[in-house]
Amino acid sequence: MKEKIGFIGLGAMGSGMVTNLLEKGWPVTVVPHRKREAVERLKTLGAAEVATARELAEATDVILLCVTGSEQVQEIVSGRNGIVSAGKPLLLIDCSTSNPAVTVRLAEELAISGITLVDAPLARTPKEAAEGKLDVMVGGAADAVARARPILEAFSARIVATGDVGTAHTMKLLNNFISMGYSAIYSEALMLAAKAGLTPQVFDSVLRGSRMDCGFYQAFFEFVLNRNENAQRFAMVNALKDMSYLASFAQSVQAANPVGAVVRNSFAAAVASGKGDAFVPALSDVVAALNGVSLTAATGAK
């Protein structure tokens, strides 16, 4: 018999994840979300709804979190009417991109209450979430990971066990560091190209199909060339959050990480300029504008 699943965080990723859980026979209960249409659609598929995290804990065996980061996770777990207040042993699967140091500390605190924490951050996009083809990194005790695996399989194409609790969140930050690093490099290179009179189309004609081409590059340039704002749906404010988590981790291990600092500051500049809600490829426009050039003028885009 399948375990009863609770789910918090019905955003672009979470909604698709819950859809797959329901379609594959898992009983799922959710809590209210600002996007009521997502809740109502999932209820038509068989999901139940309760008012608080505490009620969710009382009604389920396993809870998945898919929220912004550690601050939200801690509030859901330990806040008023939070998960801990139910006083019930549970498996808690954190699919958020959280601070690894907080995850490790939280796992130790929750163990006292009989709650086992597994970190299982996600890679890929809302499209793959809807298709049940996400990549999932998972960290935790072997028995907890084994218990979580069939649940994660409902919405994933690949699951990579990373080690102890906290290691998956670390790996997720490293994954995002590489992708956000590419974003910062693309943006600066495009700005310098514009300064030299080279259009984004010329830039792309050299890199596309070369050894420097990849799926991330193509999604980024779908925005640069075609102004498709949905090509890579990840807000720059969240990129800054993740790079700040990475900076915190680097400090905790006394590592010199100058590239990480540069990448973080690229997104900090974008957020400070009021563009935090724009998606990551828009960093190219921010860097261009700061240097007095326009990529849209160079492409002829509107």
Say what percent of the chain tops pLDDT 70.
Answer: 98
Active site residue 172: yes
Res. 300 pLDDT band, cuts 50 70 90? low
Domain ranges in the chain with CATH number 1.10.1040.10: 170-299
Instruction: For domain 5-165, give the CATH number.
Output: 3.40.50.720
* Beta-carbon-side half-sphere exposure of residue 37 (alpha carbons within 13 Å): 1
Q: Please check the confidence at residue 299 and state whether its pLDDT lies above 60.
A: no
Q: In a 3-state reduction of DSSP, which class is residue 217?
A: helix
Residue 35: predicted pLDDT: 82
Residue 298: predicted pLDDT: 54
pLDDT digits (tens, 9 = 90+) for 236-259: 999 999 999 999 999 999 999 999
Q: Mean pLDDT over residues 109-137, rounded?
A: 96
Give the chain's mean pLDDT: 96
Distance CA 35, CA 218 (A): 30
pLDDT digits (tens, 9 = 90+) for 101-117: 999 999 999 999 999 99
Question: Which is catalytic among the residues 172, 195, 241, 302?
Answer: 172
Burial class (CB in 10 A: 0-12, 13-18, 19+), 215: exposed
Q: Mean pLDDT over residues 40-45, rounded?
A: 97
Distance CA 56, CA 52 (A): 6
Domain ranges in the chain with CATH number 3.40.50.720: 5-165
Q: Please check the confidence at residue 34 and state whether its pLDDT lies above 90.
A: no
Instruction: For domain 170-299, give the CATH number.
Output: 1.10.1040.10
Two structure tokens written together for 217: 């590059």
Q: Mean pLDDT over residues 157-163, rounded?
A: 98
Residue 302: predicted pLDDT: 47
Residue 297: predicted pLDDT: 76
pLDDT digits (tens, 9 = 90+) for 55-109: 999 999 999 999 999 999 999 999 999 999 999 999 999 999 999 999 999 999 9
* Buried/exposed 161-199: b ≥16 CB within 10 Å, e otherwise: ebeebbbbbbbbbebbbebbbbbbebbbebbebbeeeeb
Two structure tokens written together for 149: 């695996």
Q: State the pTM of this model.
A: 0.93
